[in-house]
Amino acid sequence: MKVLLTAPYENEKALRELEGLFDEIIYRSWKPHGRAYNPTELKALLKETKADALISEHDEITADVLRANPHLKFVGICRGTPSNIDLAVATELGIPVFNTPARNAQAVAEMFIANVITLMRNTMPAIDWLEGKNWGEGAHTSYLQFKGNELAGKKVGMVGFGAVGQYTARMLLSFPTEILYYDPYYEDPNPVFKKVELDELFSVCDVVGIHLPVTAETKGMIDRKYLSLLKKNAIFVNTARATVVNREDLLELLETEQIRGAVLDVFYHEPPDEIDYKMIHHRNVLATPHIAGATHEVEDHHAFIMNNNLRAFFHEGDKTIKQLVNKAVLEKQTTN
């Protein structure tokens, strides 16, 4: 089997492993290209290489791409959720689709905690103050002006308790914090994590984090109804998907100082539009350009996870497993 690999596989061991699973690997990572391949480019690349299968990361694998290549033995998506492929058409054509759950969970969890602490400790304005040469003779000026809060002892709520929410929760236990979560599709066996309804979570938590995919159910789900329940000293965090939150309602909350602040890594428009920039420039917002999952290690994680999935499917799996692959992925995409 000849496999076209456009996802980054810069870990030499992972690449050698993949080469050992198939007859030929044609490595055409999107990174030197500067961006993901669009449908036209991807169709041309599949035709040029005569590939029997595809392993991608961000490329646009539309219905048109799939219908032009119904012979594909499988498609691998090196992402937690395979949102860049028309999964319904892949299933219709009998093309198994694999993804890499939790590939960036560690990275996002670390940045979630780091940025919440940064906001709570007033780190960014303190740096600006220091670099602005504002330190005069008063020894206690900065001590009083930038005194913040500790994360320890706070209640942290997770809206969605998938891989990222669970990784973050486990790390937060060591501070320690009290973890509450809302997820109608998951019941955590660890009694230390308390499952609650959204109203309670937004009302009592000091930090509320969003960990939801975009689905028909979740789009715009977090709006004024829930945001207005936040405590005045609460911090709102979204490192997942911007459109699950009503941004106008969130912006109003920030501008009227009804909450302490927000940590935002995702936006309605990327690059941002005027409304996004109003939030980005707000003095109580710590904003980053969709980089919570951007670590070098994430690429290592997705390579080894994908290799393990493919090894199990082609060398260790059975017919029952193969029949369930797309069904399971589709259910995860629409309900998790």
Catalytic residues: 241, 270, 290
CA 206 from chain centre, in angstroms, equals 22
Comparing CA positions, the residue from 229, 163, 164 lying closest to residue 196 is 229
333, 213 in Cβ contact below 8 A?
yes
Pairwise CA distance, residues 222 & 250, whole Å: 9
Whole-angstrom CA distances from 96 to 92, 105, 195 are 10, 24, 34
Tokens of 36: 């993901």
Comparing CA positions, the residue from 161, 162, 163, 128 lying closest to residue 179 is 161
Cis peptide before 176 (omega within 30 of 0): yes
Element (H, E) at 312: none
Pairwise CA distance, residues 300 & 246, whole Å: 34
